[in-house]
């Protein structure tokens, strides 16, 4: 507990020795597919493998399984396996996963407000005379 408090404080205040406290969070939640998965679980609630598969469009079952396993191991989602025939498996956010909600809202908000500016910057950059 004490140890944890120390390192989290160091991370939050910006450790002099390198260390970007945002990186670990990025590594944890922000890969190609984890964000869409968490978002779908967040907005549509508890659901089965096939439902997730359909909602996340083009993802393949292999990759979906891999990401779900990772998120489960990280404690962000909960997997419940009902031994029926045919099998039924349901996924839902854990309390820890749900704690990300304000963060996701904040991210979506920033995107809504600023992604247009990024587009504009790219356009201007590409249109500028090559030097």
Partner DNA sequence: CAGTATCCGGCCGGATACTG
Binding site for its own copies (CB under 8 A): 4, 8-9, 11-12, 14, 18, 20-26, 28, 30, 35-36, 39-40, 43, 55-57, 72-76, 96, 99-100, 102-104, 106-118, 120-122, 124-126
Nearest to 100, CA basis, from 17, 42, 59: 42
The Cα-based distances of 77 to 67, 70, 99, 112, 129 in angstroms read 11, 9, 11, 26, 49
Considering the complex, state which of residue 9 and residue 26 has its C-beta at the smaller distance from DNA.
26
Give, as one character, the DSSP assignment of residue 131: -
- Give the shortest CB-108-to-its own copies separation in angstroms: 4
Choose the contact partner of 86 out of DNA, its own copies, none; CB within 5 to 8 A by kind: DNA
């Amino acid at each position: 507990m004490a140890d944890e408090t120390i390192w989290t404080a160091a991370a939050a205040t910006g450790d002099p020795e390198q260390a970007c406290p945002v990186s670990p969070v990025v590594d944890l939640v922000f890969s190609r597919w984890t964000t869409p998965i968490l978002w779908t679980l967040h907005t549509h609630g508890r659901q089965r493998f096939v439902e997730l598969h359909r909602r996340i469009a083009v993802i393949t079952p292999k990759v979906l399984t891999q990401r779900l396993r990772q998120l489960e191991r990280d404690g962000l989602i909960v997997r419940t396996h009902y031994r029926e025939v045919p099998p039924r498996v349901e996924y839902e956010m854990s309390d820890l996963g749900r704690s990300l909600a304000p963060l996701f809202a904040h991210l979506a908000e920033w995107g809504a407000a600023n992604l247009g500016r990024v587009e504009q910057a790219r356009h201007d950059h590409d249109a500028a005379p090559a030097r």
